[in-house]
């Protein structure tokens, strides 16, 4: 079990591998994680900090949605992508985290990166069209 870590005063934890990307466990798989949709990156980090089993967070923009991944397995590498961030919980050793496919071993975590930008706003619905004009009355029926 891992002890819960406090959220650092400066905000987000550093990026694993010093760049944006998706968290990967040994063997390059996504590993075991719980998902929480439509919360911010800092809220995701707080959930991990409060969990005794969470070792890292992955935060992903999927279209207009956000997905928080609360990882339960140690992170070994980061798959570079601009739409994701991988952050290791403080107090857990990031030694050996590498950036695929560069294979940089022993990358330090460096300074925290800013949070990912917010997704674009939902498109506005088209303006309502005025109702059609009334129909003229029908002429009387002739026998």
Q: Which residues of the chain have pLDDT under 50?
A: 1-7, 96, 101-112
The pLDDT, as a whole number, for residue 11 is: 87
The pLDDT, as a whole number, for residue 65 is: 93
Spatial CA neighbour of 15 closest among 101, 103, 73, 79: 79
Distance, in Å, from the CA atom of 122 to the CA atom of 100, rounded to the nearest integer, reads: 33
The pLDDT, as a whole number, for residue 12 is: 94
Distance, in Å, from the CA atom of 96 to the CA atom of 102, rounded to the nearest integer, reads: 13
Residue 25 tokens read as 């466990």
The pLDDT, as a whole number, for residue 7 is: 46
pTM of the predicted model as reported, rounded to 2 decimal places: 0.61
Alpha helix segments (H runs only) across 26-103 = 41-50
Residue with token string 């956000």 = 66
Report the alpha-carbon angle 117-62-119, nearest 5. 30
Residue 82 tokens read as 């601009």
The pLDDT, as a whole number, for residue 122 is: 59
């Amino acid at each position: 079990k891992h002890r819960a870590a406090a959220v650092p005063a400066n905000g987000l934890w550093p990026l694993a591998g010093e760049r944006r990307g998706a968290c990967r466990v040994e063997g390059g798989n996504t590993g075991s994680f719980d998902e929480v949709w439509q919360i911010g990156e800092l809220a995701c980090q707080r959930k991990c900090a409060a969990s005794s089993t969470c070792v890292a967070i992955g935060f992903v923009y999927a279209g207009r949605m956000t997905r928080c991944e609360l990882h339960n397995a140690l992170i070994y590498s980061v798959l570079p992508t601009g739409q994701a961030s991988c952050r290791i919980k403080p107090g857990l050793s990031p030694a050996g985290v590498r950036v695929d496919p560069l294979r940089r071993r022993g990358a330090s975590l460096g300074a925290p990166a800013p949070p990912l930008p917010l997704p674009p706003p939902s498109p506005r619905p088209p303006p309502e069209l005025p109702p059609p004009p009334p129909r003229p009355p029908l002429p009387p029926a002739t026998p």
